[in-house]
Amino acid sequence: MAGAENQSGAKKGDQDTESIRQRLNTLEGKLTEAKGLSQPPADAEGRGRAMGQAVKLSVELVAGVVVGGVIGWALDQLFGTKPIFMLVFLVLGAASGIMNVMRTAKTMQGEPMPGHHLRTQKARDAVTEDDED
């Protein structure tokens, strides 16, 4: 019984061994390809850049709200109208922060800003007017 563990009932042939080896090589190639597709590329620089952009967007939003709140608080202290200016400028600061975030996000995506073609057209017109003088 001791030798029965290492022996199978079928005789091994060179063709069987070669076909098994080919199938293993094919399977290994498919596994390597699947691993490459399933795992995202390890791009530390890209992740760092994305994190920096996320921090930039959040700081711009918070900065708008904080600046608006401080201006409103200062005006309330100056004129003695406690919550009115602070509330108004908090809303204005939030709107400004949201607009800044949208503007920055569009430039990060590479999309031109609304009216960009008009600004560039004005610059081209100004250059051609200078050339004519």
pLDDT in tens, the chain (133 residues): 455 555 555 555 667 888 899 999 999 988 888 877 766 556 777 888 889 999 999 999 999 999 999 999 999 999 999 899 999 999 999 999 999 999 998 888 887 766 677 777 767 777 666 666 5
In DSSP notation, the chain reads -GGGGS--SSPP-HHHHHHHHHHHHHHHHHHHHHHHHHSPP--HHHHHHHHHHHHHHHHHHHHHHHHHHHHHHHHHHHHT-TTHHHHHHHHHHHHHHHHHHHHHHHHHHTPPPTTHHHHHHHHHHHHHHHHH-
Rg of the chain in Å (alpha carbons): 34
